[in-house]
Amino acid sequence: MTLQKAQKLVDQWIKKYGVRYFNELTNMVLLTEEVGELARIIARKYGEQSFKESDKEKNLEEEMADILFVLICLANQTGVDLTEALEKSLKKKTDRDSDRHLNNEKLQ
């Protein structure tokens, strides 16, 4: 699925099942909440914290998808084309960092 297709599917879903988009501030808070849920799983799976019973049902894929969904909602409601934005971001990073990481002794 392309980002463009994902943006269209999320928009269709919102219009059919979600009634309307939450406002941008609410979606930003929801995005932050979802990132926190992903961080919690990563801290337990790859970090030093142990899983609580309430965490055992959660999974990385679901939390990442929840983040993507809310991010797409924000993009749709603010008029951001995520395909174009990602392409610009990759170009910026390439222009800025093309040699930086290759020359970083910490990454060797």
Q: What is residue 28's predicted lDDT score, i.e. its pLDDT?
A: 98
Q: What is the CATH number of domain 3-83?
A: 1.10.287.1080
Query: Which pLDDT value is given to residue 52?
Result: 82
Domain residue ranges in the chain: 3-83
pLDDT, block means (10 residues), the chain with 108 residues: 98 96 98 97 92 82 97 98 98 90 87
Give the Å distances, CA to CA, from 24 to 3, 21, 48, 74, 81: 20, 8, 35, 6, 16
> What is the predicted pLDDT for the residue at 55?
74
Region of residue 79 (left: phi > 0; alpha: psi -120 to 50; beta: else): left
* pLDDT at position 108: 84
The pLDDT of residue 56:
74
